[in-house]
Amino acid sequence: MNSIPFVPVITIDGPTASGKGTVSTRVAQALGWHVLDSGAIYRLTALACVQQDVETGDVDAVAKVAQHLDASFDAGNVYLSGKNVTEAIRDEQIGLLASKVAAYESVRAALLQRQRDFRQLPGLVGDGRDMGTVIFPDASLKVFLQASAEVRAQRRCKQLNEKGISANLASLTADLQARDEHDKNRAHAPLVAAVDAHVIDSSNLSIEETVAVVLDLWSRQNN
Protein backbone atom coordinates (compact mmCIF):
# COMPACT_ATOMS: atom_id res chain seq x y z
CA MET A 1 0.00 0.00 0.00
CA ASN A 2 1.43 3.38 -1.02
CA SER A 3 1.74 5.87 1.80
CA ILE A 4 1.15 9.58 1.29
CA PRO A 5 4.56 11.34 1.33
CA PHE A 6 5.14 13.81 4.13
CA VAL A 7 5.51 17.38 2.90
CA PRO A 8 7.38 19.69 5.29
CA VAL A 9 5.98 23.16 5.89
CA ILE A 10 7.51 26.29 7.37
CA THR A 11 4.96 28.91 8.39
CA ILE A 12 5.85 32.57 8.77
CA ASP A 13 3.07 34.63 10.32
CA GLY A 14 3.07 38.25 11.36
CA PRO A 15 1.39 41.64 11.06
CA THR A 16 1.15 43.79 7.95
CA ALA A 17 4.50 45.03 6.57
CA SER A 18 6.55 42.85 8.92
CA GLY A 19 8.52 41.59 5.93
CA LYS A 20 7.10 38.09 6.10
CA GLY A 21 6.38 37.94 2.36
CA THR A 22 9.91 38.78 1.30
CA VAL A 23 11.42 36.55 3.98
CA SER A 24 9.18 33.64 2.99
CA THR A 25 10.08 33.99 -0.69
CA ARG A 26 13.81 34.02 0.05
CA VAL A 27 13.61 31.11 2.49
CA ALA A 28 11.68 29.11 -0.13
CA GLN A 29 14.27 29.98 -2.78
CA ALA A 30 17.12 28.90 -0.49
CA LEU A 31 15.45 25.55 0.18
CA GLY A 32 14.09 25.03 -3.34
CA TRP A 33 10.52 24.89 -1.99
CA HIS A 34 7.16 26.26 -3.04
CA VAL A 35 5.82 29.45 -1.46
CA LEU A 36 2.31 30.52 -0.50
CA ASP A 37 1.47 34.19 0.00
CA SER A 38 -1.84 33.77 1.81
CA GLY A 39 -2.26 37.52 2.06
CA ALA A 40 -2.40 37.65 -1.72
CA ILE A 41 -5.36 35.26 -1.64
CA TYR A 42 -7.35 37.71 0.46
CA ARG A 43 -6.14 40.70 -1.54
CA LEU A 44 -7.29 38.91 -4.69
CA THR A 45 -10.68 38.37 -3.11
CA ALA A 46 -10.90 42.06 -2.23
CA LEU A 47 -9.82 43.09 -5.74
CA ALA A 48 -12.32 40.70 -7.32
CA CYS A 49 -15.08 42.27 -5.20
CA VAL A 50 -14.09 45.74 -6.41
CA GLN A 51 -13.96 44.60 -10.04
CA GLN A 52 -17.34 42.88 -9.75
CA ASP A 53 -18.96 45.76 -7.82
CA VAL A 54 -19.60 43.49 -4.85
CA GLU A 55 -20.17 45.38 -1.60
CA THR A 56 -17.52 44.16 0.85
CA GLY A 57 -20.01 44.53 3.69
CA ASP A 58 -22.19 41.81 2.12
CA VAL A 59 -20.68 38.72 3.74
CA ASP A 60 -22.55 36.15 1.64
CA ALA A 61 -21.68 37.91 -1.61
CA VAL A 62 -17.99 38.15 -0.66
CA ALA A 63 -17.92 34.46 0.31
CA LYS A 64 -19.36 33.60 -3.12
CA VAL A 65 -16.58 35.61 -4.78
CA ALA A 66 -14.02 33.71 -2.69
CA GLN A 67 -15.53 30.35 -3.66
CA HIS A 68 -15.15 31.09 -7.36
CA LEU A 69 -11.86 32.98 -7.19
CA ASP A 70 -9.83 32.34 -10.35
CA ALA A 71 -6.37 32.87 -8.88
CA SER A 72 -2.96 31.62 -9.94
CA PHE A 73 0.70 32.29 -9.15
CA ASP A 74 3.65 32.03 -11.49
CA ALA A 75 7.27 33.18 -11.28
CA GLY A 76 6.51 35.69 -8.55
CA ASN A 77 3.49 37.11 -10.35
CA VAL A 78 -0.14 36.96 -9.22
CA TYR A 79 -3.00 36.46 -11.66
CA LEU A 80 -6.74 37.01 -11.35
CA SER A 81 -8.83 35.49 -14.13
CA GLY A 82 -5.66 35.25 -16.20
CA LYS A 83 -4.70 38.92 -15.79
CA ASN A 84 -1.48 39.94 -14.04
CA VAL A 85 -2.55 41.89 -10.93
CA THR A 86 0.73 41.69 -9.00
CA GLU A 87 0.88 45.47 -8.54
CA ALA A 88 -2.87 46.06 -8.30
CA ILE A 89 -3.28 43.89 -5.19
CA ARG A 90 -0.59 45.88 -3.37
CA ASP A 91 -2.70 49.05 -3.43
CA GLU A 92 -3.21 50.35 0.12
CA GLN A 93 -7.00 50.48 -0.27
CA ILE A 94 -7.08 46.86 -1.48
CA GLY A 95 -5.02 45.96 1.57
CA LEU A 96 -7.56 47.56 3.89
CA LEU A 97 -10.44 45.78 2.15
CA ALA A 98 -8.51 42.49 2.33
CA SER A 99 -8.18 42.87 6.08
CA LYS A 100 -11.93 43.49 6.27
CA VAL A 101 -13.05 40.48 4.22
CA ALA A 102 -10.48 38.21 5.91
CA ALA A 103 -12.44 38.63 9.14
CA TYR A 104 -15.46 36.83 7.65
CA GLU A 105 -15.64 33.20 8.75
CA SER A 106 -17.39 32.09 5.56
CA VAL A 107 -14.67 33.68 3.43
CA ARG A 108 -11.90 32.01 5.42
CA ALA A 109 -13.70 28.68 5.13
CA ALA A 110 -14.01 29.08 1.36
CA LEU A 111 -10.28 29.68 1.03
CA LEU A 112 -9.04 27.12 3.58
CA GLN A 113 -8.58 24.09 1.31
CA ARG A 114 -7.34 26.23 -1.55
CA GLN A 115 -4.42 27.29 0.63
CA ARG A 116 -3.74 23.76 1.88
CA ASP A 117 -3.53 22.54 -1.71
CA PHE A 118 -0.27 24.49 -2.08
CA ARG A 119 1.37 21.89 0.19
CA GLN A 120 3.43 19.93 -2.32
CA LEU A 121 6.85 18.29 -2.42
CA PRO A 122 9.61 19.10 -1.79
CA GLY A 123 8.15 21.53 0.75
CA LEU A 124 6.21 24.74 1.33
CA VAL A 125 6.88 28.07 3.01
CA GLY A 126 3.59 29.76 3.82
CA ASP A 127 3.24 33.32 5.04
CA GLY A 128 0.20 35.03 6.47
CA ARG A 129 -1.58 35.62 9.74
CA ASP A 130 -2.94 32.17 10.60
CA MET A 131 -0.62 29.81 8.73
CA GLY A 132 0.70 28.20 11.91
CA THR A 133 -2.50 28.35 13.92
CA VAL A 134 -5.19 27.36 11.41
CA ILE A 135 -4.00 26.46 7.91
CA PHE A 136 -0.97 24.29 8.78
CA PRO A 137 -1.16 23.52 12.52
CA ASP A 138 1.18 20.55 11.96
CA ALA A 139 3.89 22.66 10.30
CA SER A 140 7.44 21.45 10.88
CA LEU A 141 8.63 24.94 11.83
CA LYS A 142 6.53 27.91 12.86
CA VAL A 143 7.81 31.48 12.91
CA PHE A 144 6.05 34.62 14.06
CA LEU A 145 7.73 37.68 12.59
CA GLN A 146 7.11 41.00 14.29
CA ALA A 147 8.41 44.57 14.24
CA SER A 148 7.20 47.82 15.72
CA ALA A 149 4.50 49.73 13.83
CA GLU A 150 6.91 52.65 13.45
CA VAL A 151 9.59 50.49 11.80
CA ARG A 152 7.05 48.80 9.55
CA ALA A 153 5.64 52.17 8.51
CA GLN A 154 9.13 53.42 7.66
CA ARG A 155 9.72 50.34 5.50
CA ARG A 156 6.40 50.74 3.72
CA CYS A 157 7.00 54.45 3.20
CA LYS A 158 10.39 53.70 1.62
CA GLN A 159 8.82 51.08 -0.68
CA LEU A 160 6.16 53.52 -1.84
CA ASN A 161 8.65 56.35 -2.36
CA GLU A 162 10.87 54.07 -4.45
CA LYS A 163 7.85 53.47 -6.69
CA GLY A 164 7.32 57.20 -7.02
CA ILE A 165 4.31 57.21 -4.71
CA SER A 166 4.18 59.90 -2.05
CA ALA A 167 3.37 58.64 1.44
CA ASN A 168 2.80 60.19 4.85
CA LEU A 169 4.70 58.36 7.58
CA ALA A 170 2.28 59.35 10.35
CA SER A 171 -0.72 58.18 8.34
CA LEU A 172 0.96 54.89 7.45
CA THR A 173 1.82 54.27 11.10
CA ALA A 174 -1.77 54.97 12.17
CA ASP A 175 -3.13 52.71 9.42
CA LEU A 176 -0.83 49.85 10.44
CA GLN A 177 -1.76 50.20 14.10
CA ALA A 178 -5.46 50.18 13.20
CA ARG A 179 -5.01 47.13 10.99
CA ASP A 180 -3.06 45.35 13.75
CA GLU A 181 -5.88 45.92 16.23
CA HIS A 182 -8.46 44.73 13.72
CA ASP A 183 -6.49 41.56 12.91
CA LYS A 184 -5.70 40.76 16.55
CA ASN A 185 -9.28 41.19 17.73
CA ARG A 186 -11.26 39.59 14.92
CA ALA A 187 -13.45 36.69 16.01
CA HIS A 188 -12.14 34.19 13.46
CA ALA A 189 -8.47 33.23 13.12
CA PRO A 190 -7.08 36.32 14.89
CA LEU A 191 -3.47 37.38 14.41
CA VAL A 192 -1.60 35.57 17.17
CA ALA A 193 1.61 33.60 17.45
CA ALA A 194 1.12 29.82 17.63
CA VAL A 195 2.09 28.45 21.05
CA ASP A 196 4.96 26.53 19.44
CA ALA A 197 6.14 29.37 17.17
CA HIS A 198 9.56 31.00 17.29
CA VAL A 199 8.97 34.74 17.70
CA ILE A 200 11.46 36.90 15.79
CA ASP A 201 11.53 40.68 16.19
CA SER A 202 12.97 42.07 12.97
CA SER A 203 12.85 45.73 14.00
CA ASN A 204 16.65 45.88 13.99
CA LEU A 205 17.31 43.12 11.45
CA SER A 206 17.75 43.37 7.69
CA ILE A 207 15.85 41.04 5.38
CA GLU A 208 19.04 39.02 4.85
CA GLU A 209 19.61 38.69 8.62
CA THR A 210 16.01 37.64 9.20
CA VAL A 211 16.20 35.02 6.45
CA ALA A 212 19.42 33.71 8.01
CA VAL A 213 17.70 33.35 11.39
CA VAL A 214 14.84 31.31 9.88
CA LEU A 215 17.19 29.08 7.88
CA ASP A 216 19.31 28.54 10.99
CA LEU A 217 16.22 27.49 12.96
CA TRP A 218 15.35 25.01 10.21
CA SER A 219 18.91 23.69 9.99
CA ARG A 220 19.27 23.20 13.76
CA GLN A 221 15.89 21.51 13.94
CA ASN A 222 16.83 19.01 11.24
CA ASN A 223 20.42 18.20 12.25
pLDDT digit string (tens) for 50-101? 999 999 999 999 999 999 998 887 767 889 999 999 999 988 899 889 989 9
How many CB atoms are located within 10 Å of the residue 193 CB? 17
Does residue 122 register a pLDDT over 90?
Answer: yes
Is 21 known as a binding-site position?
yes
Q: What end-to-end distance do the CA atoms of the chain give, in Å?
A: 30
Is 22 known as a binding-site position?
yes
Domains of the chain: which residue ranges? Answer: 9-218
pLDDT at position 101, please?
93
- Rounded to two decimals, the pTM is 0.84
Is 15 known as a binding-site position?
yes
Q: Which fold has domain 9-218?
A: Rossmann fold (3.40.50)
Is 18 known as a binding-site position?
yes
Contacts of 67 (CB under 8 A, 6+ apart): 110
Is 20 known as a binding-site position?
yes
Least Cα distance to 216 among 134, 143, 124 occurs for 143
